[in-house]
Structure 1
Amino acid sequence: MSHAEIDLPGEWEDPSQPAPRRRRRGWLIALLLIGALIAGLGVVIGGYLLSLRGEYEKRSTVSIARTASDGERPADLGSGTNYLLLGSDKRDPETAAREQTFGQRSDVMMLVHVPADGSDIYVLSFPRDLYVDIPGHGKDRINAALAFGGVPLTVATVENYLGAPIAHAALIDFDGIKGLVDALGGVDVEVPLTFEGDGIEFTEGIQHMDGETALTFVRQRYMFADGDFQRNRNQQALLKAILNSFISRDTLSDPMKIREAIGQVSPFLTTDDGLTALTMAQLGVSLRDVRSENIRFMAVPHGEPFTTTGGASVVGTDEEGMDVLRRALAEDAMGAYYSQYAGAY
């Protein structure tokens, strides 16, 4: 979307007005885990809660403390809470804690904003090739921050770009998908288009997938005209299906299924060390009335793809559009922002 097409308001428009048609956004697997815990921890008590906590503690943890080169963390204005959710297709659970996920690039990156009133939740996707400043490394694709400095540098990069603090962060590898999908008994995925990958036929429309099929589905890209963009859409379609399955009555009424699912995904999960089981439980209680229809998906403002002088293909930024988003985050006014800009990017 060009700058000329953006209507930058002096004041927020009435959020009660009908929202423009919005682009369907998918579900990052880390959001799935958090959503699952929100749903699960809000309805379980006692010994089962302790058991669930034990499964969650199989994850790896890292500190997201800043270094001198990262600069000062943006001020917390006390309005709403931001979470950074990352997905990667190359993570070794045995070395994740030691290496702090250095050397990878995040395939998926989303900001989750939870308003102070705990109403609707806003999820904003970042293009993986967005060309931004990475502290200590100059301009590069935003997904390179994970390779340069792990989750801590990725958090600092996003905070600097948004001008807003990140309270917690989570990263999951896609290898956690297989066991998770199987633990749920398979999931029904809305396949965006027909294609064949690794000997498996995927047909446009609803298709039931087991874990192996799901993993194949989200890893394909070379047969698509737009490569990674279609792969991202496929990943989003699968993750949406997983979340819908996770918060279904059949799953929430089956404590052992929740426990098994979390146990399957936790070894492939890294969070900041502050995102404890207790923190998750508190979040679950505060958001106990939130349902899938209360989660609003958007993309952060961005420019057009271009090639750098060094020959890299990247996605440009949109500073005017970002200023509007930064203001909405600072003022905890994402409802008004969503009513005007949903589907704009």
Structure 2
Amino acid sequence: MRSERKLKKKKRKTRKIIGFTLLILFIGAGVYAASVYQSLAGAIQTMQGTEHKTDKRVDDIKFKSKDPFSVLILGVDERKNDKGRSDTMIVMTVNPKQESIELLSLPRDTRTEIIGKGTNDKMNHAYAFGGVSMSINTVEAYLDIPIDYYVKMNMEGFQDIVNAVGGVTVDNDMDLAYKGYNFKKGTIDLNGKEALIYSRIRKEDPRGDYGRQMRQRQVIQAVMKKGSSLSTLTNYDDIFKALGKNVETNLTFNEMLSIQNNYKSSLKNIEQYTLQGDNQRVNGIFYNIVPDDKKLEAQNRIKTHLGL
């Protein structure tokens, strides 16, 4: 009964978080059984990706000291014979001393210098030009902050994760139609393929990229809700395999466990905001142009949350 109460309490917390914390919450649920623990450890091994050492930090992050840290979340649309672009870019900052997490969404069309390429372009093109490393370097330069870790999720393969948890339920706020699929306003159930299509809709939504980002967050939150439930834990092996195939990170298994042990208080307050600018045409191409004062405001907010 005690374990059941703990799991129910954890389930309530999971409803508010996206992206990177999906992995942490799976660890939180998994440590109750040794077999789940071992399965997760194996999955994390397959997730290991590019090493990143930011030059914007003097000292390394110490999890036992509860140092604030940042994570760049990349939702990458990778298809056959196409390297893809990072259609979702979110900077997560975690501050356990303030007991808070902040999530800054960066519109993919934001015009900026692509570090390592030497040209001004849409921010999400950094991934197409130079993968994870160029994306991190570009975001670090744009926001003038250290990016300590990253989590890359393959949105094409995200349907495997949705199917592994038995589908998801979301609240759709408008009637939408895309590629032969019709999504009615209201509460709808989605399988993996439907969830992928639903999260890709952009031009059919008058909010454009902002509407698509909202739907992607909806689907990820719904996956977390199902993934933390007692019934879904019987499918943990399929869930971990799907994560291993479609998620990449530079966080190690031990680092994730340390975050789970030392940063739980950060889940108490979670705030999301977007660095929204104006749609302007430059040389015939539409960009999201963020005014300098808004950009500086966002930079200062993140630095404050990171204790810089």
**TM interval, short-chain normalised:** 0.7 to 0.9
Which residue pairs with 1:305 in the alignment?
279
- Paired residue for 1:265, among 239, 243, 251? 243
Which residue pairs with 1:13 in the alignment?
none
**Greater Cα shift, 240-249 or 48-57:** 240-249
Once the two structures are superposed, the pairs formed by residues 15-54 of structure 1 within 5 Å of their partners are 30-31=19-20, 33-41=22-30, 43-44=31-32, 46-54=34-42
RMSD of Structure 2 on Structure 1 (CA): 2.8
Distance 1:74 1:286, change over 3 A: closer
Which residue pairs with 1:317 in the alignment?
290
Deviations 1:227-268 (A, max 9, x none): 4443333222222222232334544xx2x4334212112212
Q: TM-score scaled by structure 2?
A: 0.81
Which residue pairs with 1:241 in the alignment?
222
Which residue pairs with 1:329 in the alignment?
302
- In structure 2, give the amino acid aligned to 1:106: S
Q: CA deviation at 1:91?
A: 5.1
Whether the 8 Å CA contact 2:70–2:93 is kept in 1: the answer is: yes
Bigger helix share: 2
Once the two structures are superposed, the pairs formed by residues 51-130 of structure 1 within 5 Å of their partners are 51-65=39-53, 72-73=55-56, 80-90=68-78, 103-117=83-97, 119-130=99-110
**Greater Cα shift, 108-117 or 220-229:** 220-229
Once the two structures are superposed, the pairs formed by residues 211-290 of structure 1 within 5 Å of their partners are 211-248=192-229, 250-251=231-232, 254=233, 256-272=234-250, 275-289=251-265
Distance 1:313 1:75, change over 3 A: farther
In structure 2, stretches of 5+ residues that fail to align are 1-15, 62-66
Whether the 8 Å CA contact 2:96–2:266 is kept in 1: the answer is: no
Residue 204 of structure 2 aligns to a residue whose secondary structure is coil
Aligned pair count reads 286
- In structure 2, give the amino acid aligned to 1:177: F
- In structure 1, give the amino acid aligned to 2:253: A
Bigger strand share: 2
CA distance in 2 between partners of 1:148 and 1:120 (Å): 34
Q: CA deviation at 1:45?
A: 5.5
Q: CA deviation at 1:290?
A: 5.3
Deviations 1:295-315 (A, max 9, x none): 221113x4211011x211101
Residue 26 of structure 2 aligns to a residue whose secondary structure is helix
Residue 105 of structure 1 aligns to a residue whose secondary structure is strand
Deviations 1:105-131 (A, max 9, x none): 210000110004272211110011111
- In structure 2, give the amino acid aligned to 1:307: R
CA distance in 1 between partners of 2:57 and 2:106 (Å): 19
Which residue pairs with 1:296 in the alignment?
271
Q: TM-score scaled by structure 1?
A: 0.73
